[in-house]
Amino acid sequence: MSDNDGKKTLGLRGGSNSGNVKQSFSHGRTKNVVVETKRKRVVVPKPGAAKPTTGGASPVAGDPSKRPAGITDAELERRMKALALAKAREAEEAAQREADEKAREEERDRRRAEAEAKEREEREREEALKAREEEERKRKEAEEKARVAEAAAAAAPKAAPAKPAAPVARKANDADTEDRGASGPRKVDRDRDAGRAERVVKAKPGRGDDGRRAGKLTLNDALAGGEGGRQRSMAAMKRKQERARQKAMGGQQEREKIVRDVQVPEAITVAELANRMAERVADVVKSLMQNGIMATQNQTIDADTAELIVEEFGHRVQRVSDADVEQAIDQVEDKAEDLQSRPPVITIMGHVDHGKTSLLDAIRQANVVSGEAGGITQHIGAYQVTTESGAVLSFLDTPGHAAFTSMRARGAQVTDIVVLVVAADDAVMPQTVEAINHAKAAKVPMIVAINKCDKPDANPQKVRTDLLQHEVVVEEMGGDVQTVEVSAKTRLGLDNLLEAIALQAEILELKANPDRSASGAVIEAQLDVGRGPVATVLVQNGTLKRGDIFVVGEQWGKVRALINDKGDRVDEAGPSVPVEVLGLNGTPEAGDVLNVVDTEAQAREIADYRAHSAREKRAAAGAATTLDQLMAKAKADQNVSELPILVKADVQGSAEAIVQAMEKIGNDEVRVRVLHYGVGAITETDIGLAEASGAPVIGFNVRANASARNTANQKGVEIRYYSVIYDLVDDIKAAASGLLSAEIRENFIGYASIKEVFKVSNVGKVAGCLVTEGVARRSAGVRLLRDNVVIHEGTLKTLKRFKDEVKEVISGQECGMAFENYDDIRPGDVIEIFEREEIERSL
C-alpha cells in the first residue's frame, strides 16, 4: 500500500475554485492540470456551479466522477484536516493523477499529445496557484460547518452530477484493484497520511523505476506527462501478457510432460477415467463425442472405449481385470505329496417325501425330520457321519420340493457322490428325474437308495426299470449304478448303503491339501438375529481356522467362530467338513465360494471389486435394453395384472426357492412380482416398501420385529407368515387367481326367425317372429343376422306375445320383438338370442 501511495501522491491541494493540481513524478518532473470545475463542485455542491473545464485541462481532469466517487462528507472532513496540515498539495496531485490515469486508460493517445503542452503551462501557473490555494482553503474551512449542516440537502445535487461518471470511476477502481489491490483504502490512507511526505518521497523511486521500465517500452509516452497511469497500465498489460504467456506455455508443458499410466478396468465411468488421466471431464466428454460416443460424466464406458480415449490423450493404458484383484487369492496347484485323502461329500437327492431326511437321520442316528416344519426339508442340511468302520462321510441333505431346483443344483456341484433316494412305493417322480439330471450335469457318480422297502406295496424292481427310462442303468440290469434297498424306518440295508458309498469314494480317490489356506463353497447362508450373518460352508480344500480372513462372494470377514454340524464350536475345519462360519460382514449367496486371503485389505478390495462389477454388470444389462424393447414390454405389461409381494425368509436358499416358485405362478394375464426378497426379520423398511406398492409381506420362518408390526398395523400392510412352502405357494396362487379377470362366456339360448315386419306407432318397427330354437328372453342380448352375417347387436325393447309384454317365449311360439335403437329389420332375418355368463378362473 505504501508503495502505491508513493506512486501517486493524491490529495486536494487548493480551494474549490482553483482546480489546479500538480503532479510530481520521479526525477523531479512535475505536471499541472487544470481542474477548475471539479474543485467548484466539491466545495459548493450545486450542479449549477459546475462548468466545463477550459484551457489545457484534459476532459478527465475535470471529470466530476473523481470527486463524488471518492468523497463523502466524512471524507471531506478528513480532507479539510489534511489541508490544515498543509499537505493537501500532494494529496491533490495524486487525486488528480488518478483522474488522469483513468482518462489515460480511456483515451491515452489523445491525452498524450495534450499533456506536453499542459505541463509547460502548469509549471508557470504553479506559483500563482499556491497563493490561491491558501486563500481557498481558509474560505473552505469557514464554509465547512455550514456544509455539514446542509449535508443531507447537499448530497442530492452532489450525487446527481456524479452518476453519469460513476461507472467510469468504478471501472477505474476495478482496474486498480485488479492490478494492485483496492484503490479505496489507498485513497483514504493517502488522505490521512497526507502529511507524511517521507513516505511519499520514499515511495517515489519505486514508481520511477516502474516508469523507466514502462519508458523502455514506449519512450515517448514515458517522457510525456501522464506517466503514472500509462506506466501502470503498461505494466499491468505486460503482466497480463506475461501471465497469459506463462499460462499457455505452462499448460502445454504440463500436457507434454506428464504421461500417466492409467489403469483401465473392464468398465469405468467417464468422470473416473478423467480423474485417472488427470484431465478435465469436459475434455474427455468432448473426446468421446469426437469418437461418436455420447456419454455424460457419470456414464460407464467399456475398457476398449476407455483405452481409445486414454491413448488419444497420450497416456499409457494399463488394462486391469477382476482377476487381477483376485490374484490375492492363493491359486497355487497342490503338489501331489501334499495331498491327503479326504472324506467324500455325499449329497442325498430325490423326490419330495421319498425319505431323504429320514434316511440321513437313520444314518446319523439323530432325528432331524421330526424337527422340520411340515416334515419337509427346506434348506440344505450338512452333516458329518462316522461309520462303524471308522470312515468319515460328509452328507448334504437337499430338499425334494420342486421349488428348490437351484439348491439341488448347488448340492450336486459341491458333491462327490449323489445318493438318489427313490421310494419303492412311489418309483421315479419328477424331482427324481431332476436330481438325475443334476447329477449327470455335475458328472457325479450316483448310488440309488430304494427306500421304504419295509412297506408292503414296495416295488424295488419297478424303480429299477423306471430308472432305465432316464438312462440310469443299474448294476442289476447290466449297468454301473449301484442300488441298495433300504428302509429308513427299519434301518434295513443301511450298512449296505454305507458300504456302497465307501466303495464309490475309494474309486474316486478323493484328496485335498489340508495345509493351505482354505477354500470352500457356501451351502447355505442366513442372517441370524443373534449371531449376524452365518454361512454354512463346506470346506473343499485347505483348513479353515478361527481368525482367518476370507472373502466370500461379495462379502468378506474374519472367522469369529466355527460351529460343526453337532452345534459344537471348533477351532478349524479341514477338507470336506461342513461348518457354520461366523464373522461375516454381510450375508453371502448360497453357492458363493469362500477363499482365505492374507490381509483384511485384500479381502475388502476383492469383495468391493466383486460387488462393484456385479453392479456394473447389472447396470450394463439394464442399459442394454433398447427403447423398443422397453416400449414393447410396457405395452405387454399393460395387459398383465401383477400381484406384488415382498419375501423375507430365514435362509438365502429358501428366499431364492420362494422367488423361483413365485415366478412360476401366473400366465399371460396375471403374474406375481417379487418386489424384494431377503434374509432376516421383517423390518420397517420392508413395510415401507410394501406400503408404497400395496404388496403383502411374506415371512417365511421369520417374523416382523415390533416396530415393523406397529407400522404394518398403522399402514394396513398385510404380513403373512409361513413355514411350509406349499402353503405359501397355494395361497399366493389363490390370490393371483383373484386378479384374473373373470372370463365371459356367451351362451346361445335361442333363435327366432322374422316372418313379418309391422310398423307400430310409438314403438317403431316390430318384428313378428317365430322362435325356432330355445327361448327368447326379454333380458337377453340379441343379434340380428341377415344371411348369417351379424348386422346388429343390442338388446330388446319389447317382447310381446299376443299384445302382452312377456319375459320369455319358448320354442315354437310366435312373438313380437322390437330392438332398442334399431329399426332396420326385414322378413327373413334371424334373431340370435344369447346370455353372458361370467366365469371365475384360477391358475
Count of residues near ligand GTP by CB under 6 A: 22
Q: Which residue is nearest to ligand GTP (CB)?
A: 400
Residues forming a β-bridge with 494: none
Q: Is 405 in the site for ligand GTP (CB under 6 A)?
A: no
Positions of E strands within 680-825: 697-700, 719-722, 743-760, 764-777, 781-786, 789-801, 804-805, 808-810, 814-819
Stretch that binds ligand GTP, among 252-260, 280-288, 483-491, 769-777 (CB under 6 A): 483-491
Q: Is 102 in the site for ligand GTP (CB under 6 A)?
A: no
Other Cβ atoms closer than 10 A to 702: 25
Judged by CB under 6 A, which of 18, 53, 300, 357 binds ligand GTP?
A: 357
Stretch that binds ligand GTP, among 78-86, 238-246, 316-324, 448-456 (CB under 6 A): 448-456
Give the nearest distance from C-beta 487 to ligand GTP in angstroms.
4
Judged by CB under 6 A, which of 43, 71, 284, 352 binds ligand GTP?
A: 352
Give the nearest distance from C-beta 689 to ligand GTP in angstroms.
31
In the bound state with Mg ion, the residue whose beta carbon lies nearer, of 5 and 353, is 353
Q: Is 488 in the site for ligand GTP (CB under 6 A)?
A: yes
**Phi, psi values for residue 813, rounded to 5°:** -100, 155
In the bound state with ligand GTP, the residue whose beta carbon lies nearer, of 491 and 703, is 491
Assign 184 to helix, strand or coil.
helix
The interface partner of residue 451, options being ligand GTP, Mg ion, none and the CB cut-off 5 to 8 Å by kind, is: ligand GTP
In the bound state with ligand GTP, the residue whose beta carbon lies nearer, of 109 and 457, is 457
The interface partner of residue 265, options being Mg ion, ligand GTP, none and the CB cut-off 5 to 8 Å by kind, is: none
Q: How far apart are the first and last CA of the chain?
A: 90
In the bound state with ligand GTP, the residue whose beta carbon lies nearer, of 207 and 356, is 356
| Contact between residue 739 and residue 641 where contact means Cβ atoms under 8 Å apart | yes
The interface partner of residue 548, options being Mg ion, ligand GTP, none and the CB cut-off 5 to 8 Å by kind, is: none
Query: What's the rounded Cα separation, in Å, for the pair 592 and 525?
Result: 10
Judged by CB under 6 A, which of 62, 70, 400, 750 binds ligand GTP?
A: 400
In the bound state with Mg ion, the residue whose beta carbon lies nearer, of 96 and 357, is 357
Instruction: Record the cell numbers describing residue 253, joined without a space.
Output: 508443458
Assign 565 to helix, strand or coil.
coil
In the bound state with ligand GTP, the residue whose beta carbon lies nearer, of 50 and 348, is 348
Assign 633 to helix, strand or coil.
helix
Give the nearest distance from C-beta 530 to Mg ion in angstroms.
26
Helix, strand, coil shares of the chain, percent, nearest 5, are 45, 25, 30
The interface partner of residue 794, options being Mg ion, ligand GTP, none and the CB cut-off 5 to 8 Å by kind, is: none
Q: Which residues contact 720 (CB under 8 A, 6 or more apart)?
A: 696, 697, 698, 699, 731
Q: How many angstroms from the chain centroid is the CA of residue 193?
A: 62
Q: Is 356 in the site for ligand GTP (CB under 6 A)?
A: yes
In the bound state with ligand GTP, the residue whose beta carbon lies nearer, of 451 and 504, is 451
Query: What's the rounded Cα separation, in Å, for the pair 644 and 187?
Result: 76
The interface partner of residue 381, options being ligand GTP, Mg ion, none and the CB cut-off 5 to 8 Å by kind, is: none
Nearest partner of 497 among 393, 628, 608, judged by Cα: 393
In the bound state with Mg ion, the residue whose beta carbon lies nearer, of 274 and 728, is 728
Q: Would you give the binding string for ligand GTP spanning residues 362-391, x where CB under 6 A is met?
A: -------x-----xxx--------------
Instruction: Record the cell numbers describing residue 291, joined without a space.
Output: 469418437
Q: Would you give the binding string for ligand GTP spanning residues 188-227, x where CB under 6 A is met?
A: ----------------------------------------
Helical H segments across 716-837, by residue range: 725-739
Judged by CB under 6 A, which of 211, 381, 399, 774 binds ligand GTP?
A: 399
Query: What's the rounded Cα separation, in Å, for the pair 556 and 607?
Result: 6
| Contact between residue 143 and residue 15 where contact means Cβ atoms under 8 Å apart | no
Stretch that binds ligand GTP, among 353-361, 500-508, 691-699, 759-767 (CB under 6 A): 353-361
| Contact between residue 415 and residue 691 where contact means Cβ atoms under 8 Å apart | no
Q: How many angstroms from the chain centroid is the CA of residue 179?
A: 47
| Contact between residue 44 and residue 16 where contact means Cβ atoms under 8 Å apart | yes
**Phi, psi values for residue 533, rounded to 5°:** -65, 135
In the bound state with Mg ion, the residue whose beta carbon lies nearer, of 8 and 408, is 408
Q: Which residues contact 779 (CB under 8 A, 6 or more apart)?
A: 807
Judged by CB under 6 A, which of 358, 517, 541, 555 binds ligand GTP?
A: 358
| Contact between residue 20 and residue 95 where contact means Cβ atoms under 8 Å apart | no
The interface partner of residue 352, options being ligand GTP, Mg ion, none and the CB cut-off 5 to 8 Å by kind, is: ligand GTP
DSSP assignment of 7-69? H------S-TTT-EEEEE-GGG-EEEEE-HHHHHHHHS--GGG-----TT--TTTT-TTHHHH
Stretch that binds ligand GTP, among 64-72, 133-141, 354-362, 642-650 (CB under 6 A): 354-362
Q: Is 187 in the site for ligand GTP (CB under 6 A)?
A: no
Instruction: Record the cell numbers describing residue 316, joined without a space.
Output: 499409457
Stretch that binds ligand GTP, among 251-259, 452-460, 516-524, 613-621 (CB under 6 A): 452-460
In the bound state with ligand GTP, the residue whose beta carbon lies nearer, of 308 and 724, is 724
Give the nearest distance from C-beta 356 to ligand GTP in angstroms.
3
Residues that bind Mg ion (CB under 5 A): 356-357, 377
Contact residues for ligand GTP (CB under 6 A)? Answer: 350, 352-358, 369, 375-377, 399-401, 451-452, 454-455, 487-489
